[in-house]
Amino acid sequence: MTAPLLLVVMALVSTAEVTERYNISPTDTPFSTMAGKGSMSAVFHEWQTEVLEPPDTGNAHIEGDDIATFPAATPTVRVGNYSQIMRGLVLVSKTLDAVDKAGRNTELAHQVMKVGKEVKRDSEAIMLENQGADAGSSSTARLLASLGAWVKTNTDFGATGADPVYTNGAPAAGRTDGTQRPFTETILQVVLESCFINGAEVDTLMVGPFNKQVVSQFQGIATRNYDLSNVDPRPTAVIASIDVYVGDFYTLRVIPNRFQRERDAWVLDSDMVSIRALRPFNTTPLATTGDATKRMLIVEHTLRVNNEAGLGLAADLDVA
């Protein structure tokens, strides 16, 4: 009895593994993975930013000098972002959940898992979009300001393009997209120089699939890596991809992202961005109104950019 039962269990596991492999849709979310995590306590999450005064080369004073006046203190700038509600819905007939399925025990659990991955992909794309913040109303949804609405200091963009305009609060609009042009190493160097001048400590270059291939053609100092240590016998490999870009000011990991806008190349510091949750990912059963089981997967969170001058953007790049 034992051997046949064991064979049946093994067959079921094998079928499940094969079934999962049939779904090849990508689920990696590089930006959300690298960003910090935290919480928020209201639908509008606020924080403060500041900068140091420029160096004063005339800072010299007479010995024993008295102080008659003091400079006015520069106030911090108060900024914030709204939470955005994202959700996925599942409805599975009770018949479908009762019959035998090839490769899984319950259709409901499979569909909840699938929708969860889809919502995470949605969140990744929204965080990297060019979306302004909106407080929402009884008839319109709240919107978070995505990364494209924040970064305005260390940028290089095409003709007719413009950086977002805001001073405090939440950016109400994204940047103005300009005329697209080929991504060049010179464009990247302009952004990196600006980042260095403004005190950024960036460590990552995140690009879309097309421009990842463009970066791999840069002729500057680069490290082309591929680990063949576990391959025996070791094959001959042609290395045509840049993993690390070494510039005058920074060493950057080069990461492709399927879900960002291809026209943007982000220069990032993971310490400058975080995703703050008002309500973390949660699955809620919904009332039964018929012969089906219903679930709602929901999350409410926002993007926090600690200081946008700690990030960079090469905008308006060709996408093909």
Range with lowest mean pLDDT among 130-139, 182-191, 216-225:
216-225
Q: Between the ranges 23-27, 194-198, 227-231, where is the mean pLDDT highest?
A: 194-198
Q: What is the domain range of residue 89?
A: 33-47+78-314
Structure token pair of residue 230:
């576990």
Region of 263 (left: φ > 0; alpha: ψ -120 to 50; beta: rest) is: alpha
Range with lowest mean pLDDT among 21-30, 146-155, 205-214:
21-30
Whether 310 is covered by a domain: the verdict is yes
Beta strands 36-39 and 273-285 are parallel
What single-letter amino acid sits at 221?
I
Whether 17 is covered by a domain: the verdict is no
- What are the C-alpha distances in Å from 193 to residues 71, 107, 153, 166, 185? 31, 53, 12, 23, 12
Answer whether 313's CB lies under 8 Å from 272's CB. Answer: no
Instruction: Enter the pTM of the model.
Output: 0.84
Instruction: Answer yes or no: is pLDDT of 24 > 80.
Output: no
Q: What is the pLDDT of residue 102?
A: 66
Average pLDDT over residues 193-218: 96
What's the pLDDT tens digit per position in 49-102?
Answer: 988 888 999 999 999 999 989 988 888 899 999 999 999 999 999 998 888 766
Mean pLDDT of the residues in the chain:
88
Instruction: Answer yes or no: is pLDDT of 136 > 70.
Output: yes
Average pLDDT over residues 231-246: 64
Answer whether 89's CB lies under 8 Å from 295's CB. Answer: yes
Tally of domains in the chain: 1
Instruction: Answer yes or no: is pLDDT of 202 > 90.
Output: yes
